[in-house]
């Protein structure tokens, strides 16, 4: 540990003030990138989470050491870690295109709380280093690392009569390195015969010709037609 922080590890008024200010700065720095990208939780939210977590950590220490309360000083911080999951969950959304957004913001909020717990507990080195690495992760190491993307999802509607035809379609997609992210099936008929429609949302792992894929699926046994949505 750095010896320059040794005098700041006791629970004095000056040290409490230092921890709160440091937690505020670290939380704000972590959240600035989220605010810049117009995310649901910006620097003020991250700042509040970091401050509250540091206060919770200091409260546990204070009750145990100075008030003599027979309790585990890590109990309050543990509840903070669990509770942050509910806050982060409110920033995660599923778009109309079945893509998920907000996961980085949710993870950043949770990590911001951990930074606050480190600082509140007097582990300044860990808190500051964690805040720096969180900022690096959210900004992809300040733009030095390119964004890792994936091919866009797309949907197809498959019309068929027998369930075996859908099984063949799904096997075809799997064999051609395509992941089925969603599947919806509807059926229409007069009581004697039915025609089913399966809408599949697909994520390819490599580039492909959509028209060739469509024609290949239509050639499978039991398939009536295939439409790209």
Average pLDDT of the chain is 82
For residue 92, the model assigns a pLDDT of: 76
For the stretch 162-208, pLDDT in tens is: 888 889 999 998 888 888 888 888 888 766 678 889 998 888 877 77
Percent of the chain predicted with pLDDT > 70: 89
Q: Where are the domains of the chain?
A: 3-138, 154-228
For the stretch 197-216, pLDDT in tens is: 999 888 887 777 778 888 88
- pLDDT-derived band at 74, boundaries 50, 70, 90: confident
pTM of the model: 0.57
Q: DSSP assignment of the chain, as one string?
A: --GGGGGGSS--HHHHHHHHHHHHHHHHHHHHHHHHTT-SS-HHHHHHHHHHHHHHHHHHHHHHHTS---S-TTHHHHHHHHHHHHHHHTT-EE-TTS-EE-HHHHHHHHHHHHHHHHHHTT-HHHHHHHHHHHHHHHTTTTTTS-----PPPEEEEEEESSHHHHHHHHHHHHHTTEEEEEEEEEEEESSS-EEEEEEEEEEESS---HHHHHHHHHTSTTEEEEEE-
For residue 148, the model assigns a pLDDT of: 54
For residue 145, the model assigns a pLDDT of: 53
- CATH fold of 154-228: Alpha-Beta Plaits (3.30.70)
């Amino acid at each position: 540990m750095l010896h320059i922080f040794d005098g700041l590890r006791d629970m004095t008024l000056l040290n409490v003030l230092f921890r709160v200010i440091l937690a505020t700065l670290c939380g704000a720095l972590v959240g600035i990138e989220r605010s810049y990208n117009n995310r649901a939780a910006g620097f003020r939210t991250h700042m509040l989470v970091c401050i509250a977590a540091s206060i919770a950590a200091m409260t546990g220490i204070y009750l145990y050491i100075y008030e003599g309360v027979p309790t585990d000083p890590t109990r309050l911080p543990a509840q903070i870690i669990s509770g942050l999951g509910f806050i982060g969950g409110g920033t995660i959304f599923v778009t109309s295109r079945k893509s998920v957004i907000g996961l980085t913001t949710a993870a950043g909020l949770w990590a911001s709380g951990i930074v606050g717990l480190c600082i509140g507990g007097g582990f300044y080195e860990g808190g500051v280093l964690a805040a720096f690495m969180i900022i690096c992760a959210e900004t992809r190491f300040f733009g030095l690392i390119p964004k890792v993307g994936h091919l866009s999802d797309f949907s197809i509607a498959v019309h068929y009569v027998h369930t075996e035809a859908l099984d063949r379609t799904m096997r075809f997609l799997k064999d051609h390195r395509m992941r089925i992210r969603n599947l919806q099936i509807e059926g229409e008929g007069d009581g004697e015969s039915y025609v089913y429609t399966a809408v599949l949302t697909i994520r390819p792992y490599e580039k492909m010709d959509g028209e060739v894929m469509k024609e290949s699926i239509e050639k499978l046994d039991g398939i009536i037609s295939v439409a790209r949505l």
